[in-house]
Amino acid sequence: MAVVPMQKIGIVGYSEDWQLILSALQQEGAVHIEPINPPQQEIAELEDRLRRIDNAVKFIIEISEHKAKKTTLSPHQVHGILENIDLDTILDITEQLRKKRENLSSTISHSQSRIHTLTPWVNWIYPLELIKDTQFVKIKAGLIPIAKSPIFEEQVKDEELFHLRVIRRSHDGLNIIVYYHKSVSQHIEQILSNSEFILWDPKKYTDSPSKEIRKFNAEIERAKRELANIKTEVSKFTSKIVPLWAAGDQLEQTIEQHKALSTALSTASTFTMQGWVPMKNSEKLKRKIEAAFDTVELISIPVLPEDEPPVALKNPFFIESFEVITDLYGRPGKGMVDPTPFIAPFFAIFFALCLTDAGYGLILTLIASIGLYKFKQPGTQKFLRLILYMGLMTILAGIITGSYLGIALPEASEATGLASIALKLKLFDPLKDIMTFFAISLAFGSIQLSVGFLLTMYVHLREDKKLLKKIHDVWVNIAWIATTIGIGLFLMNFVIPEKLPTFGEIGTNMLLVGAIGIVTGHGILGPLAGFSIGQSIGAALAFEGLYGIIGVFSDILSYVRITALGLSTSIVAGVITEMTTKMNGFLLIVGIFILSGGHVFCAVFSSLGSFVHPARLQFVEFFSKFYESEGKFFEPFRRKYKRLNVL
């Protein structure tokens, strides 16, 4: 339930065995490699081969329309697959097929484009090669836009030494062929220019348009037949997808080995690396690696004050999932405590109170359970367990508040069966007892902030060596706890004075005692603990002192967002249920879809808010009291499988 202690180690090995040694370290997955030098080694060739593998898989899946699923295998199965794959042959054949397919697709596209160009000219029955100038006559083919065609036809109808052949009239305009003597070319070409004539040069073609179109159609059919043959050939490689994935993952691991080696110190015969390993695993790793290789030694390196070890967290199974929340903010900095055990209960309660519906909790529980069954990756499993816990907590919150998909429970005198049981388990109604809900949020806020000040005291007590500093830390933080609880009690009395009549006086007195404690702690104990007079007065009166009390008021009031979200979920759920239960006849069928779809959508959408806002309370209100996230993640050098699930 803490930050895992780390041991710094050095790894010295014989250069000829570097790949075997690094492969063994990858298999152990216990060492966080820390670069000694910037990466030097070029691995472009390996990365290019990896790109070829991924492109081959993508091509096979795309062309064969095979629905490939991420396969779960054991390391032994992966090893067997890699021994039997002829990778170079598969890559060469798939690349040849891909290139041929690209050429055929280009042929089809080109032919279709030519057909589109020739279609307006199909009424021309003569070879297109005849459309060219002669010794005395110019012959041009082209298009007159529809807007200019009436004026053009009017202008040329009486022209001498000129002939107009209209091939087609369409919404685009006139497809025409014009013949005119070279002696009038300047005049005719001026008319064509004024009419926005678009010249078409058919010199690429020899036969008539219809014959050319038939040729291109035949070319398209031939290309389509060859594409079908390619699809058949590619489909034979669907059984190679998993082996290709295995080869890709293995090559990616080799690339990581090269990258790790490139950051090491190297001579002609040896290499030296450094890294971090959990202290409890260091001796075991040393024995195992040195037993496997005569040419390697693992050395413990003293940790210097300026060293910043990577941070790994170790928590009990049920709390471990809440590391997801901690990691969203950042791992603990040097000297910090792991906040995960302290945010776990608060985050779970806040999430449940924001969602406040047992039905929605059941939906989340079912989604998480299905996900846990289908997805086996450790990171995904951790997140899904978090969702599962949130679902179960929301079911409990729904029972306490009597919220079941927005269904209105009857009065106690009219309730029977399940409704009677639900009423007995119900502690309060958020919609009827809004102020009670308000006070509950304030209570949780003051409690969590008090825990934050306790953790601040703990962190300072660990860091400070002088007794007077320790006394100063205890005095000031206990004063802040008294202030925080006093503010909470005061606000709760203000919200529901009739239910908590004594809280106002108690809270005011605690607030006063806390404020005095803060001033005396900083003002009197501060100088004795080694702070200057100026620092002590500033701390007593500024943000760490009296002025900071305003911030605590603000922080506690931020927890009211729990009430707002809980009420909004209850209201929306009630509207969906009430609206659909009033539908009759054919609309009843529609209502069933609206009821189920609406509640699922509302559950998912409200869950996002119920996740984001409690997370914000942890990051802004709670963490600001004690936590600094400057730690770097512990990322052990291990075999990573992106394409397969290897268990």
pLDDT (tens digit, 9 = 90+) per residue, 303-341?
888 888 999 999 999 999 999 999 999 999 888 899 999
For position 42, what pLDDT does the model report?
63
Could you please report the per-residue DSSP string of 129-198?
Answer: GG-S--SSEEEEEEEEETTTHHHHHHHHTT-TTEEEEEEEEETTEEEEEEEEEGGGHHHHHHHHHHTT-E
Under 8 Å between Cβ of 392 and 366: no
Could you please report the per-residue DSSP string of 603-641?
Answer: HHHHHHHHHHHHHHIIIIIIGGGT----BPB--------
| Angstrom distance (rounded) from CA 66 to CA 249 | 21
Instruction: Identify the three-state secondary structure at position 270.
Output: strand
**Gap between the terminal Cα atoms of the chain:** 26
Q: Which CATH architecture has domain 132-201?
A: 2-Layer Sandwich (3.30)
Going by C-alpha positions, the residue among 419, 550, 443 that lies closest to residue 494 is 443
Whether pLDDT at 421 is above 70: yes
Residue 596's H or E segment, with its range, is helix 586-616
Please give the distance of CA 304 from its chain centroid, rounded to a whole number. 37
Task: Extract the runs of DSSP E, i.e. beta strands, from 264-412.
Answer: 265-266, 270-278, 296-301, 313-314
Residues in CB range of 169: below 8 A, 6 or more apart: 149, 175
> How high is the mean pLDDT of the chain?
88
Cα dihedral 347, 348, 354, 357, rounded to 10, equals 170
Under the banding of pLDDT at 50, 70 and 90, the label for residue 41 is low
Of 128-142, 392-406, 423-437, the poorest mean pLDDT is in: 423-437
Instruction: Identify the three-state secondary structure at position 431.
Output: coil
Instruction: Identify the three-state secondary structure at position 10.
Output: strand
| Angstrom distance (rounded) from CA 520 to CA 232 | 85
For position 160, what pLDDT does the model report?
87
Under the banding of pLDDT at 50, 70 and 90, the label for residue 479 is very high
Residues in CB range of 159: below 8 A, 6 or more apart: 180, 184, 188
Decide the pairing of beta strands 645-646 and 72-73.
parallel
Q: Where are the alpha helices (DSSP H) in 408-560?
A: 417-425, 434-463, 467-495, 503-520, 526-528, 533-541, 548-558
* Adjacent-strand bridge partners of 180: 138, 162
For position 116, what pLDDT does the model report?
93
Cα angle at 420 between 415 and 422, to 5 degrees?
Answer: 125
For position 1, what pLDDT does the model report?
56
Predicted structure pTM score:
0.77
Spatial strand order in the sheet of 137-145: 162-170, 173-181, 137-145, 198-200
Whether pLDDT at 89 is above 80: yes
| Angstrom distance (rounded) from CA 271 to CA 563 | 60
Q: Please state, for a pLDDT cut of 70, what percent of the chain lies above it.
A: 97
Whether pLDDT at 113 is above 90: yes
Which is it for the CA torsion 522, 524, 529, 535, positive or negative?
A: positive
Cα dihedral 274, 277, 283, 286, rounded to 10, equals -40
Going by C-alpha positions, the residue among 202, 213, 195, 196 that lies closest to residue 133 is 202
Could you identify the residue written with the tokens 């062929």? 177
Cα dihedral 623, 626, 632, 634, rounded to 10, equals -90
Instruction: Identify the three-state secondary structure at position 273.
Output: strand
What is the maximum alpha-carbon separation in the chain?
117
Range(s) of the chain covered by CATH 3.30.70.2750: 132-201
For position 252, what pLDDT does the model report?
87
Q: What is the pLDDT of residues 203-227, one digit of tens each?
A: 889 999 999 999 999 999 999 999 9
Q: What is the mean pLDDT of residues 264-274?
A: 86
Q: What is the pLDDT of residues 546-588, one digit of tens each?
A: 888 999 999 999 999 999 999 988 888 888 887 777 766 666 6
Q: What is the pLDDT of residues 484-499, one digit of tens each?
A: 999 999 999 999 999 9
In single-letter form, the type of residue at position 380 comes to T
Phi/psi-derived region of residue 426, left when phi > 0, alpha when psi is between -120 and 50, beta in every other case: beta
Residue 34, phi then psi, degrees to nearest 5: -115, 120
Decide the pairing of beta strands 265-266 and 32-34.
unpaired
Under 8 Å between Cβ of 396 and 345: no
Under 8 Å between Cβ of 135 and 158: no
| Angstrom distance (rounded) from CA 125 to CA 93 | 46
Helix, strand counts (H, E) of the chain: 23, 13
Whether pLDDT at 603 is above 70: yes
Q: What is the mean pLDDT of residues 276-282?
A: 91
* Adjacent-strand bridge partners of 298: 11
* DSSP conformational letter for 36: S
Distances (CA, A) of 245 to 96, 199, 258, 494: 20, 54, 20, 64
